[in-house]
Chain A
Amino acid sequence: MITVKTKQNFQPMHSTRSLRIKNTAIGWSFIALATVLICLFYFYPMVQALIMSMQSGTGTNLTFVGLDNYARLLQDPTFLTTVKNTVIYLIIQVPIMIILALFISVLLNDKTLKLKGVFRTAIFLPCVTSLVAYSVIFKYLFGQEGIINIFLLKLSIISEPIQWLTDPFWAKMAIIVAITWRWTGYNMIFYLSALQNIDHSIYEAAKIDGASPFQIFFKITIPLLKPIILFTSITSTIGTLQLFDEVMNITQGGPGNATMTISQYIYNLSFKYTPDFGYAATVSYAIVIMIVIFSIIQFKVAGDKNA
């Protein structure tokens, strides 16, 4: 064993025991307020929600019903539809967005590329818009006589306007396109800064060894970016599972319930229909469980080595 000189050896002489206790108290006081507030506004409500999820009734008249709400969950067609919708958004949108963001950031990482700043700023710009504002804009862009249909018709890609917001399939696509527009630039920035940290000589060496750009991308870039890809896919997953603002403002969940998300269902159960807070809390635990499951899957897929 090699003994390593630690900083403790250089501690000032007066660090007696009483001072250390005093310092400990001061240290705790620095973190006390934040800790109390997080417990009060995150953990305490979660406990409350757990209790509520075993109660039922309208408004504030709740009675204990055990696991009935959870049984009801599995037979509730609206809930199952919202889960299906949310999972569709997740498995289509998150991979498309991540691949697109990766691809753009690799193109932008080219040292000889001109106008790099212009491209980067333009692609990142959607991130400054509020979710509500961009949703309303997209609602009109996707309208029956909206600019997107006008474009597609003029370019003769389609022969009659697509029912973006009133057809169950196209409405989901509209939501997916909108979210991808808003968040691709955001993820791109993460990849770009990670790419800039990769030592350029690795690429030079690979080129000398005769690796194709394709091989370089899959054998060097992707493995080196694995931790950050994992990070962005988990944050995107958590974000998508909570999707609310966009759907609320683009389609309001319609047509029928074709685009409704779990978050929106919780909102409707609590504030739009006759309030059933107990059951709403049960549904919200479904999101928590899904977040945990999807995060575990992503960790497993990425392999625990670099994660």
Chain B
Amino acid sequence: MLKRVFSYGFLTIAAIISFFPFLWMIISSTNKSVDVTKGRLLPGSHFLENLNNLLETVDLVPALINSAKISITTTILSLLIASLAGYGFEIYQSKAKDMVFNFLLLSMMIPFAALMVPLFRMFGSISQTAPFIGIDTFAAVILPTVTTAFLIFFFRQSTKMFPKDILEAGRIDGLTELGCFFRIYVPTMKTTYSAAAIITFMASWNSYLWPLVVLQSPENQTIPLLISVLGSSYSPDFGVIMTAIVIATLPAAFIFFIMQKQFVAGMMGSVK
């Protein structure tokens, strides 16, 4: 009995601590800045006013569009590249390919902080010959992050469960190897793709360091950059900042709630 009480007590406290910052963020977005600083914990009626102020002070909509463009492109390309590779490593398995695979996995140990400077110089030097993929372009944001060994690994692990006999049937029916992939594999692996899509989209939507380095003009700003700038202002309007954070966080929270299973499956992909 005592153990019961302790369990519920501990979990309740943990749940409240986990949830409180969300609650505070949502409540603060409906209050005036003065009230937020006073520690008001009741919902107010100033959300629209805050939203209005937000839209006037920063380019929120363009930033949302930029973030959406970058995240959607990254997700589509990532899934295509990683699933082709994961499929290739598993279906056409060979010793040499396994060596390449293990080599690629090493890249997971490389910290991004170590890549940042050489990548910046790489894109800096491309800028002169091909400005459309140089510094301050979306291509420069997307390209270095579009292929991750983690995602290739994830697809390879999932492909282990894939019934390979179907491919043989497809080949007999005259499908090419690429046809087998697009016509049979992709439709069968919908769950894997949606899990991978969520993980990739979230990572891209939330990424901060590389866009901070590579995107320089204000019109290319993404949502995390915008929030960071708002958050570091000297005379912050808390209501407005919290409104911005609510808007930036809600899409991710919404995706998480409707696709919780795939989300967890995506995380687990790394340890199966």
Contacts and interface: CB of A to CB of B under 8 A. Distances in A.
B113 A244 contact: yes
21 contacts: A27-B94, A28-B88, A30-B87, A30-B177, A31-B85, A33-B147, A34-B82, A38-B104, A38-B107, A49-B114, A110-B7, A119-B15, A123-B18, A125-B19, A130-B224, A132-B228, A132-B231, A133-B249, A140-B36, A189-B268, A242-B113
B228 A30 contact: no
B111 A288 contact: yes
A190 B82 CA distance: 23
A203 interface: no
B70 interface: no
A104 interface: yes
A104 B18 CA distance: 12
Interface stretch (A70-78, A164-172, A277-285, A297-305): A277-285
A26 B93 CA distance: 12
Which applies to chain A's interface (DSSP): helix, strand, loop or mixed?
Answer: helix
Contacts of A271: 213
A292 B109 CA distance: 8
Nearest to A127: B256
Given A30-B92, A136-B241, A263-B111, A281 B118 contact: yes
B208 A285 contact: no
Interface residues of A, number: 90
Nearest to A50: B118
Interface string A6-39: 0000001000000000011011111101110110
Interface stretch (A40-48, A88-96, A215-223): A40-48
Contacts of A211: none
Contact of A123 (B14, B116, B121, B227): B14
Contacts of A133: 206, 224, 227, 245, 248-249
Interface of B: 3, 7, 10-12, 14-19, 21-22, 24-25, 36-37, 39, 41, 81-82, 84-85, 87-89, 91-92, 94, 97, 100, 104, 107, 109-122, 143-144, 146-147, 149, 152, 168, 177, 181, 202, 205-206, 208-209, 213, 223-224, 227-228, 230-232, 236, 238, 241-242, 245, 248-249, 252-253, 255-256, 260, 264, 267-268, 270-271
B152 to A, nearest CB: 6
Contact of A139 (B11, B231, B267): B231
B15 A118 contact: yes
A296 B10 CA distance: 34
A34 B107 contact: no
Contact of A119 (B11, B97, B249): B11
A242 B113 CA distance: 7
Contacts of A44: 118
B208 A34 contact: no
A274 interface: no
